């Protein structure tokens, strides 16, 4: 009986939601979304291309920045097709198995991005507190291992959570709150005991995001202690300025993430527009802003992009 129920769930169809009350404007609303996705994709692809092709950027800091760009795209790209299918009135339907795959990518890369930000904080700590040992500590092999562990940790942590969904009956509404699938939205529709998913989800957030954010905080405590021991004011400013881009990246990931979790758990009866607004900020703001922040604040990245756009002009100025 349980197997038959599971197969029925896997064949179930769910219905995505655009912007409630503004259905007649969906085509117009799709224009800013399209621009934001294009900016995010072009910005992150530019960062990846510059880091890959410019030998001056073959350093730990820029390898971690490339990982950040990959996780940004991994978190936002799975939503593109379903979002524009809804906004362009093609179809609101999504199959259960497609929904689970979409959830897996969104949540896995969200947790992975948090781990990458922790790795970047450790990179800053080593660079500022132990500059002479920087190259020997952060070797290419260690950086590769950090990236693989961050991805596998997030992926394996999501499997029990999503596997349980196959055994939940969805006997009432099949209408989701967003134009893509989120775990906290899906379990809201289940007419079964979802206590395991709720508790496991909270434990997962506490352990992964909580430990990552604690690690980032501790790294900055040591960084601040080291910076305050620098005698020159110019040296202090330079060291703190190095951290500015990373602090911005941390804020634009964690603030929407925490906001979305609070809205789903404690403001269930608030306006649907608030849920939708927070969800889109959570998925679109980091991929759009991270490349802009790092391009503006990081000199070598800025030079690499200018060299990519104006190769002849930059080469002649160097000569």
| Residue-wise pLDDT tens digits, 55-90 | 888 999 999 999 999 999 998 899 888 999 999 988
Rounded to the nearest 10 degrees, the angle between the axes of helix 140-163 and helix 195-204 is 160
Instruction: Compute the distance between CA of residue 247 and CA of residue 243 in angstroms, rounded to an integer.
Output: 6
SS3 assignment, position 173? coil
Percent of the chain with pLDDT over 70: 92
SS3 labels along 152-179 = HHHHHHHHHHHHHHHHCCCCCCCECCCC
* Mean pLDDT score, 78-104: 90
Q: Is the pLDDT of residue 10 over 70?
A: no
CA distances 239 to 49, 59, 60, 251, 276, Å, are 27, 18, 17, 19, 39
Domains and CATH numbers, the chain: 13-306 (1.20.1070.10)
Residue 4's pLDDT is 44
Quote the tokens at residue 90. 């093609």
Using alpha carbons only, give the angle 142, 159, 272 rounded to the nearest 5 degrees.
Answer: 110
Instruction: Compute the distance between CA of residue 207 and CA of residue 23 in angstroms, rounded to an integer.
Output: 39
* Mean pLDDT score, 285-306: 87
SS3 assignment, position 179? coil
| pTM of the predicted structure, to 2 decimals | 0.89
Instruction: Compute the distance between CA of residue 66 and CA of residue 76 in angstroms, rounded to an integer.
Output: 16
Residue 1's pLDDT is 42
């Amino acid at each position: 009986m349980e197997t038959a129920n599971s197969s029925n769930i896997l064949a179930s169809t769910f219905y995505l939601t655009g912007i409630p009350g503004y259905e007649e404007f969906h085509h117009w609303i799709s224009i800013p979304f399209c621009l934001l996705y294009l900016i995010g994709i072009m910005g992150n692809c530019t960062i990846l291309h510059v880091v890959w092709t410019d030998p001056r950027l073959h350093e730990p800091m820029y390898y971690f920045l490339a990982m950040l760009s990959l996780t940004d795209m991994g978190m936002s790209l799975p939503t593109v097709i379903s979002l524009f299918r809804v906004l362009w009135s093609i179809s609101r339907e999504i199959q259960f198995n497609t929904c689970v795959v979409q959830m897996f990518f969104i949540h896995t890369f969200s947790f992975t991005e948090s781990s990458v930000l922790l790795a970047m904080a450790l990179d800053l700590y080593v660079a500022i507190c132990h500059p002479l040992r920087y190259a020997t500590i952060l070797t290419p092999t260690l950086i590769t291992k950090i990236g693989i562990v961050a991805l596998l940790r997030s992926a394996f942590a999501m499997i029990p959570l999503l596997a349980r969904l196959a055994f939940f009956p969805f006997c009432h509404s099949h209408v989701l709150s967003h134009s893509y699938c989120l775990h906290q939205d899906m379990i809201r529709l289940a007419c079964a005991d979802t206590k395991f998913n709720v508790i496991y989800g909270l434990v997962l957030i506490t352990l992964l995001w909580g430990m990552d954010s604690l690690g980032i905080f501790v790294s900055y405590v040591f960084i601040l202690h080291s910076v305050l021991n620098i005698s020159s004011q110019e040296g202090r400013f330079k060291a703190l300025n190095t951290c500015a881009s990373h602090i911005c990246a941390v804020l634009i990931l964690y603030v929407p993430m925490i906001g979305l979790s609070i809205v789903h758990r404690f403001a269930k009866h608030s306006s649907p527009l608030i849920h939708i607004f927070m969800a889109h900020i959570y998925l679109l703001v980091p991929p759009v802003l991270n490349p802009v922040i790092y391009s503006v604040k990081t000199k070598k990245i800025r030079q690499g992009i200018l060299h990519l756009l104006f190769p002849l002009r930059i080469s002649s100025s160097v000569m």
